[in-house]
Amino acid sequence: MLQAAAFYIFSAIAVLSALMVVFAKNPVRAVLFLILAFFSAAGLFVLLGAEFLAMILVIVYVGAVAVLFLFVVMMLDIDFAELKAGFAENAVLGGAVAVVLAGILIATGFVWVDAQSVEANLQAPTPENMSNVAALGALIYDRYVLFFQLAGLVLLVAMIGAIVLTLRHRDGVKRQDMHAQVTRKRKDSVEIVDVEPGEGIG
């Protein structure tokens, strides 16, 4: 009974926070709701007995990806008025994409069938004499190693894109020139002036 109640609580929080990620007007709040959705999903993984996935979800996604998104959003200095101004121009294209995605989801729901081995897999989620972590590692690095590497490549491209977006050069901003600091001479930075008594530096 307690496990069922926890499942419904975590599921409701995950669904509501995911909706708030989409409908939140402030991107910083959207990222915070995304972190809440990750924590709720981690709780669901714990209820399913996948403690390793729950730990990875909290450490990787909450501790790295979501925080990265948050800092990128805060550093980009997004002009929300400009973003809202272009909504009407792209409404037709956005609506067409939404219709296509909805059609794909509906078609997937109609053609989806239960596999014969689902009940057996639920009864024995991991092979005998093998821990949950070892079974997951064998599955990822053996059967799905290509997809795992492609996922890492996608994250690498996203990281490079975030770095490129935040390295914009703005006028009037003082920046550190390491080469000029290292190669400068003593005569360029130090000046010795012999000041006579009772006189100042002109």
Claim to verify: residue 71 and residue 135 sit in the same structural domain: no
Give the list of residues 6+ apart from residue 55 with CB closer than 8 angstroms, or none: 42
Q: Are residues 71 and 7 in the same domain?
A: yes
pLDDT of 113 reads: 65
Q: How confident is the model at residue 120 (pLDDT cuts 50, 70, 90)?
A: low
Domain-embedded: residue 118: no
The residue segments making up the domain with residue 143 are 130-167
Same domain, 68 and 6: yes
**For residues 193 and 76, what is the distance between their CA atoms, to the nearest angstrom?**
47
Q: Do 66 and 7 lie in a common domain?
A: yes
pLDDT tens digits along 122-180: 555 666 777 777 877 888 888 888 998 999 999 899 889 888 877 776 677 777 778 88
202 within some domain = no
71 domain residue, yes or no: yes
Question: Helices 2-23 and 27-47, interaxial angle, to 10°?
Answer: 160
76-96 tens-digit pLDDT: 666 666 666 666 777 788 889
Helix (H) or strand (E) holding 95: helix 91-111
* Domain-embedded: residue 104: no
As for how many domains the chain has, the answer is: 2
54 within some domain: yes
Cα distance between residue 135 and residue 141, in whole Å = 10
Whether 72 maps to a domain, the answer reads yes
- 29: domain CATH number is 1.20.120.1200
What single string gives the DSSP state of each residue in 161-183?
HHHHHH----TT-----HHHHHH
The whole-model pTM stands at: 0.52
